[in-house]
Structure 1
Amino acid sequence: MRKEVFWWIITILLCGIIIYFTGTQASTGSNTQHIIEKLTGLSPEQASNVNFIFRKATHLTAFGLLGICFFMALRKKAFLAWEITTIYAATDEYHQSFVPGRTASYKDVIIDSIGCIIAIFIVRYFLSKNEKRNSVVE
């Protein structure tokens, strides 16, 4: 029971972090591209490509982590964790549509959902591997 409470706390904190960053103009695509240009000296076209990859990787990672948190908080119910994470991703994109300089994209929801699925499968793989190893030792 205590583990689930820990995971719920982490999950809620991560949801708050996501909503904070998606609700600020500082994390718009043009702003992150400008930062990439300044830090790397890349041309605007090159920085645009790096920015695209960076932003999509951030979606995969953030929602992958959120999926893991829901998975652990929900006592390893993978499908439910994926559903809730995907719904949260959709509501977050909707939220972004009200933030000046931000846009909502169903493609980002798909990327978020895929990040969640990948992360949950990785965690399930390592958990099952660990369980098998522990059952052999006993």
Structure 2
Amino acid sequence: MNRIKKHEKWYWLAVIAVELVLFYSSSMTYKQQTSVPFLEQHLGSNNKPFYHFLSGIRFNYGGKIQSIQNDGYFRFVEFFIRKGAHFGTYFILGLFLSLALYNYFQTHKILSFFIPWTVSTGLAAFDEFHQGLTGGRTPSVDDVMLDSMGALLASLLILLFVYIVNKLKKIPV
């Protein structure tokens, strides 16, 4: 696709920007990053949206049971925000890496999603290692797996999108 090639440098710039944000973020302590005070201030102790729905959710993540009962409402909500940020950021990274590398693997379609996915997973592992060097933060294999799934989904969606576009181009009008 010529359009992808035309914008390749922008995709690489986006990859670099996402990595810089990730590096900066993993350099911050939990105390610098927590959104709990913001949630408490803006929601207040009496306003807990979806409390009844969330109070029924309980699961194991990283060897710890996550629930409102264990963590309290605001920390539990923050958990979802933080994990959503993990998944979403690596989705974006996987998306831009897939677009940036697409033209290099046109003859090997499987590599056009596999390479961006594995590179993103490697970057996630490095980011967790870097996070482990930061005070008050603990690296997590579960976070690497979550990050990896975000990148995998983005890479597969790009592959599917390109496949559909190419099929539509071949349909006579």
Q: Shared fold (TM-score greater than 0.5)?
A: yes
CA-CA distance at 1:10 after TM superposition:
1.2
> Could you tell me which residue of structure 2 aligns to residue 130 of structure 1?
165
Please, which of 107, 121, 130 is the counterpart of residue 142 of structure 2?
A: 107
Show structure 1 runs of 4+ deviating over 3 A: none
Q: Distance in 2 between matches of 1:97 and 1:54?
A: 20
Larger radius of gyration between Structure 1 and Structure 2? 2
**TM-score normalised to the size of structure 1?**
0.87
CA-CA distance at 1:41 after TM superposition:
1.8
CA-CA distance at 1:36 after TM superposition:
1.8
Do the aligned residues in 1 keep the contact of 2:98 with 2:158 (CA within 8 Å)?
no
Q: Which has the higher strand share?
A: 2
> Taking every aligned residue pair, what percent have the same amino acid on both sides?
27
* Equivalences, count: 135
Q: Distance in 2 between matches of 1:132 and 1:41?
A: 53
> Could you tell me which residue of structure 1 aligns to residue 64 of structure 2?
none
> Could you tell me which residue of structure 2 aligns to residue 50 of structure 1?
77
**TM-score normalised to the size of structure 2?**
0.71
> Could you tell me which residue of structure 1 aligns to residue 8 of structure 2?
4
> Could you tell me which residue of structure 1 aligns to residue 124 of structure 2?
89
Unmatched runs of 5 consecutive residues or more in structure 1: none
Unmatched runs of 5 consecutive residues or more in structure 2: 49-70, 106-111
CA-CA distance at 1:70 after TM superposition:
0.9
1:71 counterpart = 2:62 = no
CA-CA distance at 1:132 after TM superposition:
1.9
CA-CA distance at 1:136 after TM superposition:
1.8
Q: What amino acid sits opposite 2:138 in the alignment?
A: T
3-state secondary structure, aligned to 1:90: helix
Q: What amino acid sits opposite 1:35 in the alignment?
A: F
CA-CA distance at 1:100 after TM superposition:
1.6
